[in-house]
């Protein structure tokens, strides 16, 4: 598999919640970096609003955390998921994926947000994931004007 096929296979395993396949596509030292204090992290009890700010590694997910999130917790938070892939570009080991995620949240709110992910895929395994999103828009959709509360208990499988 080339880098682009590996990333798209990861999305397929993610959608199928296949922990074994997800794990097999990830490098042992993979790291996923997302904006600190984002609404999803806060609503899952994995971060705090005051964590927001410049990147500083406070929210990096390691391999076990990535598999747990993708296979077990994503679907507990996002229901009726639709991914509209807009751009998937690969050059060597780097794959950039732009997509719009539409879903229903546990509190019944609709969620639509644009994401851009940059994947580094040396030797057929995802080694780095950098996530970019509309953080303010996500925050407004998850919490509205209400208090930022944990909406779902994060389960460790």
What the chain holds in terms of domains, given with CATH numbers, is: 3-143 (3.10.450.50)
Residue 36: its pLDDT value, please? 83
Residue 111: its pLDDT value, please? 95
| DSSP 8-state symbol, 61 | B
pLDDT digits (tens, 9 = 90+) for 24-77: 999 999 999 988 888 888 888 887 778 777 777 767 889 999 999 999 999 999
Residue 87: its pLDDT value, please? 97
C-alpha 28/C-alpha 35 separation (Å) is 22
Residue 41: its pLDDT value, please? 83
* pLDDT tops 80 at residue 122: yes
Predicted model pTM: 0.91
Beta carbons of 105 and 78 less than 8 angstroms apart: yes
Residue 46: its pLDDT value, please? 80
- Among candidates 130, 100, 138, 117, which has minimal Cα distance to 8? 117
């Amino acid at each position: 598999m080339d880098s682009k096929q590996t990333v798209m296979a990861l999305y397929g395993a993610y959608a199928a919640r296949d922990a074994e396949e997800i794990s097999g596509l990830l490098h042992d030292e993979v790291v996923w970096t997302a904006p600190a204090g984002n609404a999803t992290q806060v609503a899952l009890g994995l971060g705090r609003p005051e964590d927001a700010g410049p990147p500083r590694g406070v929210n990096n997910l390691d391999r076990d955390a990535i598999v747990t999130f993708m296979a077990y917790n994503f679907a507990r938070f996002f229901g009726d998921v639709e991914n509209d892939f807009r751009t998937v570009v690969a050059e060597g080991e780097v794959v950039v994926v732009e997509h719009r995620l539409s879903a229903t949240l546990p509190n019944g709110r609709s969620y639509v947000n644009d994401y851009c992910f940059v994947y580094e895929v040396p030797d057929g395994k995802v080694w780095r994931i950098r996530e970019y999103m509309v953080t303010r828009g996500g925050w407004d959709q998850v919490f509205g004007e209400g208090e930022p509360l944990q909406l779902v208990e994060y389960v460790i499988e």
